[in-house]
Structure 1
């Protein structure tokens, strides 16, 4: 067997006929990527405007991140937390400093970070706040997306994620998103935490009013309730700031991080908070064999170093401002509404024109990869390394697709 054939598997069925049907991907099979661009198995290039739901914030095959991974691959990749590793301590120190917090709980996936935060909030409620055992309640928002584990989908109002997977986990109260007064009214003596996305991603990039998160922070502080910010999609540069909470000057008690923290190389997530909250965990109560492994910590350190320069955040701000100007110009041209901040946008397509899926399929045919959600919305979230000219080109393709659809409906 040649070196090439050993490295590249046979592609007789590149679209994975034996895969479970838990996704409905666009009909493109990606083989490689660099920066904001990817290539399919036939060599055609596409501009990636999804960035794996913000997991590829720093681009495909980022040389700095690859170098960090390669160097660690040649040393050691896994020890388990039964032993210390020389990369984990520095990773935790730098991530805590980036967030202005004391402690880091390293995990792997975003859903694991959310599940970990639920456990931490409940333990804090019983051990610190004094809630009666078994009575802890967490307030969440309608339209939320925090993952697809059994506990998390128990408080989802998306029927696709929720239905037919019961019985469901109790202990959650849902209130309308962006309604701080309703949230404050829902707080009672058993409330231990409020779990929110600062900007709702899967719901269609829903940006709340600027006074919402500050009001939630005030209500949590006044009632001795933890504020948990799920920044798994919105954090680490996507919104033009390190965290989306920074946009309105709010500091949560716990940050939930993931996706971009792994540099698109390995799954890395974390719960980051102060010692009086995260410190409630005792040895043996929570863990992960792979959480905080040396390879993950090495890549995570390289990601943190990039963010410490402020360059990814600056690019997201500047490119995002131009992107949103161009998108808003399409309102009335087949676009009903545009939402978002930084390099993150939700674009509502007129149902009379077509579905979000149809728009994404036509964009794909023109060399742009995006993703629809909730039938009529498409999301744009290109890597933060995207070039301005390439982003302008992608938006030109969107305008052309909308024009095609308008002409087709008028014929």
Structure 2
């Protein structure tokens, strides 16, 4: 092995220009592989973080996944006559026995849950009206399952506990109506009940629709306004591990009987899009390294043609075909190792450079930085792919070198 390594190094240094060009291709390929994959995976992680953290991991609704079987069907399952267009009895919607079911959900490990009553309401101030989604919450519980507390510009969710007639609205509604802390606004529920509430805080999420169309009040106040006394129609659940959401949702639905939707189920189209995007990204960056490997193939093929007589002499001295192949494969390994190492260092430099770039999109008040992924797996993947490409590129020339017949070459040279 020591002799093979010495010969491989001698071959590479004898054609320094071609070796440097091949090495540069591998270095740039690895560096751009890291830079592009870091940006793409960073943007994916940022998107998922915003999607997962700003919405419930699981939402339990006051409905069933499948329509309940009608009493007539239960009483006469094999009846010859089917009754159609039966209108269900009118009832007040909500999760029945929600306190008991809340306790069932809370008993699951790694689960935080809050009851919510959500409905439509109309806010009126100075003759102007705005339809909003009104959410009745328990502040102490809501802080554990929502990021809304971190989005508060003025006040906090605890302000609702201090003032039972308080309401928290979004920055968009504050600007649209010209409200300020302490402003009195009229809130009317869907059944026409109205009450005057006082603004005790406001938030800004950056989502214009949410900031103009969402309001929070105490759970008991929402129950009164919406005419649903002692009812809730949502359980908002957060998990210690967001990627367990699908399995936990199935367990929650089995325990409560109510439809439980995980964020994974609710965003399957987005997750499929991210998967396709990753496939495209890795295909593009892998193509860079494949192109770079052609330079290595060209370099080693040239060395094989130039060193044909030397190969014949080595074989006549007792070198086997596998020994000759090992020499040229080692040349690919050397270029791959050096290129991977230098490429990783250059890639880290590019990533650090991208990390300090600040962008201010049109219409956005705050500057943002490019999201980057610094996971160790992408460094290993880039280095491994570069090494495999280099070895694969050197395999055909190495195989050709191993097939050289010394008698034919030496006889022709004589």
TM-score over 0.5 for the pair: no
Q: Tell me the TM-score normalised to structure 2 length.
A: 0.24
Q: Tell me the TM-score normalised to structure 1 length.
A: 0.24
Higher relative contact order (CA 8 A, sep 6+): 2
Larger radius of gyration: 2
